[in-house]
Amino acid sequence: MGERRLPGIDKSSLERLVPDELLKDEATGLQTLKLHIERYEFAARKLRDTTSILDLACGVGYGSRLMKDSIPAATVTGVDACAAAIDYAAVHYSKPGLKFRLSDAMDFDDGPFDAFHRLGAGHTLDGRQPPPPS
């Protein structure tokens, strides 16, 4: 099976995992995906009574979908700064009550949200601080 190319998504960095593209013998990617899913499952258990969730740096959207499936009553919004990742998420993981938006996490202002989830996106903030709540 040949590897499909996903323009705009650097799969070698592990920054944006594409579950359908991982090879069965690709231990690092599979272990990282397993860890991501465990973290999303943990967050979903903690947020089970939440009605609106912001998933910052959602990548290709599998974690946002996991949270939506785990908390059916919640509205989940996945945000990522990579257009290719958001396009992939919209095609592969969309469902009612789950939306994906292209935006830098520091500039996104489409709330309010009851809770947010951020899986390892701190490195993308470049030392910037979010604006104070209004």
Provide the residue range defining the domain that includes 34: 23-103
* pLDDT tens sequence across 3-59: 444 566 655 555 566 666 666 666 667 787 888 889 989 999 999 999 999 999 898
Rounded (5°) CA angle 45-30-15 = 80
Any domain includes 57: yes
Any domain includes 124: no
Any domain includes 71: yes
pLDDT of 72: 97
Structure tokens at 97: 């009550």
Any domain includes 129: no
What CA–CA distance (Å, rounded) separates 104 from 123?
Answer: 13
Number of domains in the chain: 1
Q: Which domain CATH number covers 41?
A: 3.40.50.150
More confident residue, 22 or 69: 69
